[in-house]
Amino acid sequence: MNFKEMVSQDRSAVFIDLDFFAEEYRIEGKKIPIVMDIDELKRRQGSQDLAVAESATLFYARVEDLPPRRTAGQNLNVNGRECIIDEWKVDMGIATIVLRENVIA
């Protein structure tokens, strides 16, 4: 087994596994396992807290579980809430997605 095959196996058997790191979310109406990463989100924000009127999320998911890739500024429905995509990157079959949501008080 070569390195790429090992990574492919590990991303499903360990990283994106509901028994280890993942949680089930509904993305565009489809239940899929994702891994939230609040620490990475804070690191990217320079440890700054967001304004009261904004919420942000960073998560990882298998590319094959997600809808077709979208660009920054487009919407993605997560658990029934419309979020705006800030970033959608793909590396070795794992998508890293950063979303924001305007919160109405």
Q: Where are the alpha helices (DSSP H) in 1-105?
A: 3-10, 38-44
54 falls in which pLDDT band (50, 70, 90)?
low
Task: Classify residue 91 by burial, with Cβ atoms within 10 Å: 0-12, 13-18, 19+.
Answer: exposed
Cα 18 to chain centroid, rounded: 15
Q: Where are the domains of the chain?
A: 3-102
Tens digits of per-residue pLDDT, 19-53?
A: 888 999 999 999 999 999 877 777 766 655 554 44
* Tens-place pLDDT, residues 68-95: 999 999 999 999 999 999 999 999 889 9
75/71 Cα distance (integer angstroms): 9
Radius of gyration of the chain (CA): 14
Q: Among residues 55, 57, 77, 56, which one has the least CA distance to residue 67?
A: 77
In this prediction, residue 94 carries a pLDDT of: 92
d(CA 50, CA 80): 22
pTM: 0.80
Q: Is residue 105 scored above 60 in pLDDT?
A: no
**CATH classification (class only), 3-102:** mainly beta
Q: What pLDDT, on a 0 to 100 scale, did the predictor assign at position 37?
A: 84
